[in-house]
DNA sequence: TAGATTTAGACAATCTTTGACAAGAACTAA
DNA sequence: TTAGTTCTTGTCAAAGATTGTCTAAATCTA
């Protein structure tokens, strides 16, 4: 499940309007709409607020957010998987 | 081996001056110096040129470069490893 | 159809990245 | 040491990317 989909489905499950979520996030509906459509990435602060507003486990949301940031960096690259494995190795050794 | 270290050691092995590498990359010595010290990240185009100038396997350099881009995104995060694993999973399924 | 909700486009403001320059520091050889 | 060369550092403006907001159009709902 992709971040944008999760946000949208959670909002719908809770029967919230964009307008309501927007006010909890301190922004307007257009931005929330874009985030749910994947046109905009939420900032980290917005992730924090969204977790609360939509009652999603914060670490789950943050993990998805980080993961998509990484994905954007390497998508379409032949070496994507290898590069990520290398990062993983580095993270593990310095942990 | 980190990207910056590789670039520096390769240059030294080949007995090239910063000035010489700089001219092959179409930039000045200051930038090459910073890249070798890790103060600046090379652009993708610079990676391509550096591989040629320093006679480094292009895919090796590119992989390191991508890997460090990813690393910058997640370093210091508690969820770094988990997030990357998630990206890996995604890349594998859509490959 | 009217009213509400959602989406799309455009825009300026802000933040980040980049390349370039100049001056200083470190090194080398006589 | 000094002169000449190489490397490093700091600063800055230009270019690029991201962000929030506004407006208007599209879609939905009763």
B66: nearest CB among A62, A63, A79: A79
CB contact under 8 A, A83 and B77: no
pTM: 0.95
The mean pLDDT value for B28-37 works out to 98
Q: Would you state the structure tokens that stand for residue B37, as one six-digit string?
A: 């010290």
Which pLDDT does position A52 carry in this prediction?
A: 97
Interface mutation target, options B88, B89, B90, B92, chain A, most CBs of A under 10 Å: B88
State CA A89 to chain mean position distance.
Answer: 24
Sign of CA dihedral B32, B48, B62, B90: positive
Which pLDDT does position B95 carry in this prediction?
A: 74
Buried b (16+ CB within 10 A) or exposed e, A32-45: beebbeeeebbeee
CB contact under 8 A, B73 and A70: yes
> What would the pLDDT profile of A38-69 be if each residue is shown by its tens digit?
999 999 999 999 999 999 999 999 999 999 99
Longest Cα separation, chain B? 45
Q: Is the pLDDT of residue A95 over 90?
A: no
CA angle in degrees (0–180, nearest 5) for A62-A66-A67: 115
């Amino acid at each position: 499940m992709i971040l944008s989909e999760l946000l949208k489905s959670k909002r719908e499950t809770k029967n919230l309007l964009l307008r309501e979520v927007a006010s909890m996030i301190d922004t307007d509906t257009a931005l929330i709409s874009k985030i749910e459509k994947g046109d905009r990435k939420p900032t980290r602060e917005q992730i924090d607020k969204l977790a609360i507003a939509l009652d999603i486990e914060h670490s789950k949301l943050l993990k998805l957010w980080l993961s998509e940031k990484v994905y954007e960096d390497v998508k379409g690259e032949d070496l994507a998987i290898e590069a990520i494995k290398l990062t993983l190795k580095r993270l593990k050794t310095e942990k």
